[in-house]
Structures are given as structure tokens and as C-alpha cells.
Amino acid sequence: MRIRKEAELNTAILHFLAKCVAEGDDQTLAYLGLDRTDAEAIESLHLTDIDHLGSVHFPLLRKASIDRDLVHRLIERVGDLRQSTSIRDDLLTLDAPFPLMQALFGMDASEYAERGWRLQVRRHSGRPAAPREDEEAAVWQAYEALQKPEDHTLSPEDYLTLCKTTGVSARTVWSVMQRLLAAGPSVTAEFHKLAGDTGDRLSDQGHDGSRITII
């Protein structure tokens, strides 16, 4: 097993060196400790020669070590990218509108359409319906529960949390939050009242939705 892997590494190194020579990348060759004489020798090799030399059982690369810190940083970055992609797709599945995805992920119209198509997202044509009062109240209460500072910009994770907490679409959450965050304290007070009124109405209803008459 070790000999086979060593041969694969040798072949990869030789192919890489041949590519550097073909592209005239003397800087990379010098970084690897090779000079023009080495480059000329490598240039004389054919592909079959490289494959043959690659199978020779001795290491071409000596005293090499892997930058462990860099490896972990790269793996962490890939993990962050994977999580971001997952949240992006979840929001698209929850009917996130284009302005939201553009603001959060920098998507353009073609990316938005293509990714939605791949996820088999069904989008309704025409003007979307305005949020209902109970939806506005639910989004406001969920937003308050996040306990974010007034100047805080909502993250993709925040929007997904609001959708999952309230059970409403990302399109509705975006509509409500745009109105709330753009208008400031006056609308904040209105949402406070709306949330209270909605909660009172719901508390006076039975589980089947009928009103309870209190005698």
C-alpha cells in the first residue's frame, strides 16, 4: 500500500513539474529548489517516461511536511461554506424572494432562478398576498425573541430561525421585517399592539377556532 501511494505521489510531482516547465513557471521551479538545468531535463521527458519514473520506489519529495494549521483552516472554511449553502437552499425552499437572497448571499437573477429550478421550488406568478395580521404578529414576536440590537443586520441564520419559529414563508418574513426595520420606532409600537391584540383574540378562541363566550 505504501509503495503504491509513493508511486502515485511521484507521478503527480513529475506531472506538476512538467506543467511548470511547459508554462515557463520558473518562479515555482526555483521555489522547489530546481534550476534551468533541471527544467531542461524535465522538458525532455515524454508522458510514458513520466509514468515509468513515477513507479520507481523511492520518494521524490523529501523532508516535506503538511501545514496542519492551514489544513484545519481550510476544512473549517469548507464546513462554513457547506452550512451557508444548506441555509441558502432551505430559504429558497421556503419561498425566499430574490431581493432577500441577493441581500444575504449576493445572488444574481440567473443564479436565483437556476438554484430554485434545481431545488424544484414552485414560485407563484403575480403580486404576492400581503401578510395576515396573525403572521405579522408571529414574526414580530419571533424577532423580539432573538434579542438583537436595534442596529443589528439579520443574518441568513436569523431569517431561517424566524421562518421555522413562525411557520410562515421566507417571503412573508422578508416583507414584515422590511417594513419593521425600515420604519423604526413608530412601527415597532404598532407591532407591539398588534401582537397583543392578536394574542388576546386567540386566547378567546377554542381549539377548533370558535369563540368562547364567557358568562
User: What DSSP string describes the chain?
Assistant: -HHHHHHHHHHHHHHHHHHHHHTT-HHHHHHTT--HHHHHHHHT--HHHHHHHHTSSS-SS-S----HHHHHHHHHHHHHHHHHHHHHHHHHHTT--HHHHHHHH---HHHHHHHHHHTT-----SPPPPPPHHHHHHHHHHHHHH---TTPPPPHHHHHHHHHHH---HHHHHHHHHHHHHHTHHHHHHHHHHHHHHHHHHHTB-TTSPBPPP-
> In whole angstroms, what is the distance from residue 202 CA to residue 133 CA?
12
Average pLDDT of the chain, as a whole number = 80
**Residue-level pLDDT at 92:** 97
**Residue-level pLDDT at 205:** 44
Domain boundaries, the chain: 2-54, 68-118, 133-203
> In whole angstroms, what is the distance from residue 66 CA to residue 82 CA?
24
Q: Quick one: CA dihedral 190, 169, 164, 201, positive or negative?
A: positive
**Residue-level pLDDT at 203:** 44
**Residue-level pLDDT at 122:** 86
Task: Extract the C-alpha cell encoding 85.
Answer: 449553502
**Residue-level pLDDT at 4:** 76
The span from the first CA to the last CA of the chain, in angstroms, equals 84
**Residue-level pLDDT at 175:** 93
Tens-digit pLDDT string for the chain (215 aa): 566 787 888 888 888 988 999 999 999 988 888 888 888 888 888 888 877 776 766 677 776 666 678 778 878 888 899 999 999 999 999 999 999 999 999 999 999 999 999 999 988 777 878 888 899 889 989 998 998 887 788 999 999 999 999 999 999 999 999 888 776 555 555 555 555 555 445 444 444 443 322 22
**Residue-level pLDDT at 86:** 95
Q: What is each CA distance from 54 to 29, 48, 63, 65, 117, in whole angstroms? A: 19, 10, 18, 20, 45
**Is 87:157 a contact under the CB 8 Å cutoff?**
yes
Task: Extract the C-alpha cell encoding 180.
Answer: 419593521
